Structure 1
């Protein structure tokens, strides 16, 4: 009877040890975040807009074509 208890204890210990090792998988590397876009200020109203959405004019950058026309008269 003692042998059965010792055998069950050893088997339970081995099972717990193997189970703990399986969960120690190294974490996956997170992908690098996307680069941020520079924000530019509208020359007319001062609103900040992403650089790729800004409208370039002769006197600066604008948030819309209407503001570019109002400021430059074009």
Structure 2
């Protein structure tokens, strides 16, 4: 699940693994293709009711790490 936060005065997305953060959340498959599609369609902004551009860098990093773990390629090993 991803949640919109106000990091340093600009809206950003964070991954809420524990699904406990306050605010509106949106589900996203841990797949880079799904993130690309959601970003291209601006679906996350609509789902989170945020009209501004959202920084997805944290979510992208998380999705890429999940992909590496699933493929047996753990970073740093």
Shorter chain as denominator, the TM-score bin is under 0.3
Which structure would you say has the larger Rg? 1
Which structure: greater strand fraction? 2
TM-score, normalized by length of structure 1?
0.22
Structure number with greater CO (CA < 8 Å, separation at least 6) is: 2
Instruction: Report the TM-score, using the length of structure 2 for normalisation.
Output: 0.21
